[in-house]
Each structure stands twice: as C-alpha cells, then as structure tokens.
Amino acid sequence: MMAASIQKIINPSNSEIIAEIPLAQSKDLELVLTQARQAFDQGPWLKLPLKERKELILNISRGILDKAGELANLETLNTGKPIKESTFMDIPSSAKVFEYFANNLERLLESETVQLENAQSRLVREPRGVVLLIVPWNYPLLIASWKMSQALAAGNVVILKPSSLTPLTALELGKIACGAGLPVGVANVVNASGDSVGETLCSDKRVDMISFTGSNIVGKEILGYASKNVKKLTLELGGKSASIILKDADLEVAVNSALCSIFLNQGQMCTAMSRIFIEDDIYDKFVIEFVKKTKQIKLGPGLDYETQMGPLISESQRKKVLGYVEKAKKEGARLLCGGKIPGSPELKKGFFFEPAVLAEVKPVMSVFQEEVFGPVAIVNKFSSPDEVIDLANNSDFGLAASIWTKDACKANEMAGKINAGIVWVNTYGMFYPEAPYGGFKQSGFGKELGREGFLEYARLKNIFVDKTPDSKPLVNFWYGF
C-alpha cells in the first residue's frame, strides 16, 4: 500500500534516524477494519479447535525467542532503554506471556454449569470480536504482547496500534504473528499517529473492544470516541505511585529497590514509585544513601552494556520533565541532585537527563500530584502509619504502591488501606501472567494478565435451559387459556 507520508524514527541516544516508516492513511484504515471484521465474522479463526489456536499462539512465543537478539537491539535503538533491560526483561517476558495464555486458554475459557430449580444455566465465554489494542512508547513490545496474547487466546481478531514514536518492534511482532500461521486478517498492525487515526479507529462500529494503555488525557478522549458506538473498554492511564519505607526495613535493600522503582526505564513507567515516603527515624540515613547512589547511575547510549540509564524518549519529553523540576524548585522544593541536562560531549546528541531527587515537596505542588514520567524522585518523611497512608492516597491516581517492612502483619494492614490496584510488599514491579494488574481512580479500569485480565477479552453468555416436568414451564400457563 502506498502512503502519503513517512514517519522518521529517531534513536533517542543520538538523534539519528534509524528507520522511515509509512504512516497509514484513511484508505488503509478502511482496508484494515474491513479485513479484521471479515476475519472474525467469516474467516476460519473461530472455527479452529482450541488446541490448534493454542499451537498457533505458541508459535508466536517461539518466534519472539527465535528473534530475541534482533528484537532487543531494535527495542533499545527505538526507545533508548539500556540493552540489558531489553535483553533480560522485555523480550523474554513478551514470549512468556504468549506461552502462558496459549497453554491455559482451554482452562480459562471452560464453561460453567449452574443447576437451578427446574432449570439449568450454562455460562459460556466467547470472544468479543475485533479488538483494538493501543500501546504506549515506553514498553512497545511488552505491552503489545500482554494485550495481543490475551486477545488472541480468547479468540478475538486484533488491530494493534503502536505509538508512532516506537513502532518498530510492534511491526516485527505483526510479522511474527503472520509467520506463526494465523489466518489472514486476524493480527493487524496500523502505524499512524493517534491524532490522525484515533477517532476513526475508536469510534468505528466494526471495533467491539478497545484496550488502551497511555496517558489520562488520551484515555478521556478515547472514552468520548467510544461513546459514539458503545463498546467494551479497558483503560490503564498511568499513576503517581508511592513507596513506603518503614523504619524496620533493611536499609540497603530499601535504598537499592527504591532506585530501581523510580529510575528503571528512565522513570518512564506508569508504576514508577515517584513518591518515596520514609519513616522519620531512618529518613536522614536513607536520603544520604539514596542520593549517593543516584549520583553514581551511569548515563549512556542504550546499546552500551555498561549503561544504567539511557535517554528519555524525545526532546519534548525531556523539556516536560525539566519543566516539572524547575517548577518544583520555584514552589519551594529542594533539589538534592541531578535535575538537569548533562554537559558531557558524548551525551549531547541524545535526550539525556540527570536523575533528580527532590525533598521538602508539599502535597499541593504539581510534582507531587502529576505524573512526570521521567527520572524524578520525591523523598518525604512521615511519623505514623496513618499519616503515610493519607499521603500515599493523596492523589487522583491509584495504580500501584510498595511497602518495605519486616512486619508482615503491619504490611498487610497498610496494604488494605492503600487506594491502589496493586501493592507490592518488599519488592517492586513483579508482573506475572498468572496475576492481574490494573488501577483505580484516574488510573483507569479493567485488568491485564491473570484470569481477570484474560476475561476482559471475553464476553459472558448465559444459555438457560428449562428443566420443568413434562417440558411445561411456568410461562406456558401465563396466558394459557
């Protein structure tokens, strides 16, 4: 297909063009929507036995592993994230999620029979139809794999819309899916900017479901688009997560883990623990060690295996993050380290930013309430569990939290009071295909992963069979003159 315009894909480590990709036009969208609808309504996909569906999805998992090195390099080139993260986290996790849902789809889709008085109800899980998967630029392959694996395993046809900033591994995933033997039209990838195609794709009645991960602002726009033709939605819209360090926590473990929880992937994570609350007894010791180790984080190009933090995704994102730091300083926050563009010549062509630590941040400040989506940590002290719960919950978001303590009973009690969809105790960022993930409040609704996440992609049908004696139900007599 010919496209009228080309998207230049930039390596954020050095601003060099690494690819030029055609952007979909209106005629391309119409073709994809028609093809996807036909593939679901008339194609062979739904007629395949579940064992055959399972094997095709397993082929995708194998295909990802077969191209693991190439995909890791491509992900790092496109996003700037350190190659160690792409190699040891993103790529194997992407393959694993396809493997898990392929191996468990028969169990997850198993029907349930309920015996009632003079009746039987059979509850059946069916695919929803054509599912639009919209994924962000921070984890292009991994989040696409989360969504696609569940949607396909449930029997749906998918249209994958990656960020136009980071489409490269999503396009490769589309090739892998086609090479796995999926019927034509079952797995589609559309490369385009959300501004140009978002309303068309989200409002079209041929799309039965939208699964979106991204910003709160765009999520609200999608809600409006979807209202034009009512459809199923799951939205994961970011967060302002809190890490709570109690005085009995292992200080070294807590410091190292807090560094990972905010600075991994350059802080460009919806679950980033950007607000770190430390019990006052250990606050000074924690902050000294945290700042010391923050200063030691090695910035560099993503493909360098010694790099611990790569560049931000774009110049506009760097300006946004820098703006939050400068505004916080003007509002009275104290910058303990970082928070500026590095001056070293080897980094000047990339979108690098020194990881920042801010203290004396008040809840009314923008940096406390708004998602920065960059390597900016807030450190605040607290003196009681009730105080820190109030601080943690003082946010419009409710995605994630972490609690660090040796007191299991206290951790469990505090976790029950935190208004977040996932609470990690003495760990951070552990995602398993078996366990659900998703937020509350302005962080959206719906789940990914686990049985609950999988069933978002299936509709529940109740097949009700009358079992009254002589096959004469009560309704037979209502007007039976």
Q: Given 3-state DSSP classes, what are the helix, strand and coil percentages for the chain, each rounded to the nearest 5?
A: 45, 20, 35
Is position 470 within any domain?
no
Is position 347 within any domain?
yes
**What's residue 196's pLDDT?**
85
Is position 479 within any domain?
no
Residue 1 has pLDDT above 60, yes or no: no
**What's residue 3's pLDDT?**
41
Task: Report pLDDT digits (tens) over 300-320.
Answer: 999 999 999 999 999 999 999
DSSP H or E stretch at residue 446: none
Rg (CA), the chain: 24
Is position 384 within any domain?
yes
205 with 265, same domain: the answer is no
74 with 213, same domain: the answer is yes
404 with 454, same domain: the answer is no
Residue 368 sits at the vertex; the CA angle it makes with 364 and 369, to the nearest 5 degrees, is: 80
What strands, in cross-sheet order, belong to the sheet with 275-279? 334-337, 356-359, 376-382, 275-279, 242-245, 400-404, 422-425
**What's residue 481's pLDDT?**
64
| Catalytic residue flag (residue 236) | yes
Q: Pick the closest to residue 464 from 36, 18, 28, 123 (CA basis).
A: 123
Is position 471 within any domain?
no
Residue in 85, 172, 270, 448 annotated catalytic: 270
**What's residue 478's pLDDT?**
84
Token pair recorded at residue 176: 């892998």
21 with 154, same domain: the answer is yes
| Catalytic residue flag (residue 260) | no
Q: Residue 183 carries which DSSP code?
A: P
**What's residue 194's pLDDT?**
87
Is position 436 within any domain?
no
Q: Pick the closest to residue 312 from 285, 282, 342 (CA basis).
A: 342
Is position 77 within any domain?
yes
Give the whole-angstrom CA distance, residue 137 versus residue 244: 28
Residue 357 sits at the vertex; the CA angle it makes with 351 and 358, to the nearest 5 degrees, is: 120
On average, the pLDDT of the chain sits at 96
Task: Report pLDDT digits (tens) over 360-391.
Answer: 999 999 999 999 999 999 999 999 999 999 99
Give the whole-angstrom CA distance, residue 24 versus residue 7: 10
Task: Report pLDDT digits (tens) over 439-472.
Answer: 999 999 999 999 999 999 999 999 999 999 888 8
402 with 360, same domain: the answer is yes
Give the whole-angstrom CA distance, residue 462 versus residue 177: 32
**What's residue 245's pLDDT?**
98
93 with 134, same domain: the answer is yes
Token pair recorded at residue 117: 């008085």
Q: Which residue has the tokens 């068309």?
A: 200
Question: What is the count of structural domains for the chain?
Answer: 2
- For the chain, percent of residues with pLDDT exceeding 70: 99
26 with 166, same domain: the answer is yes
Residue in 85, 172, 221, 236 annotated catalytic: 236
Give the whole-angstrom CA distance, residue 305 versus residue 303: 6
76 with 209, same domain: the answer is yes
Is position 474 within any domain?
no
* CATH number of the domain within which 264 lies: 3.40.309.10
Token pair recorded at residue 283: 């606050």
315 with 205, same domain: the answer is no
Domain that holds residue 181: 6-237+443-464
**What's residue 470's pLDDT?**
83
Q: Pick the closest to residue 78 from 313, 394, 384 (CA basis).
A: 313
* CATH number of the domain within which 17 lies: 3.40.605.10
274 with 407, same domain: the answer is yes
Task: Report pLDDT digits (tens) over 268-292.
Answer: 999 999 999 999 999 999 999 999 9
Task: Report pLDDT digits (tens) over 43-84.
Answer: 999 999 999 999 999 999 999 999 999 999 999 999 999 999
266 with 161, same domain: the answer is no
383 with 457, same domain: the answer is no
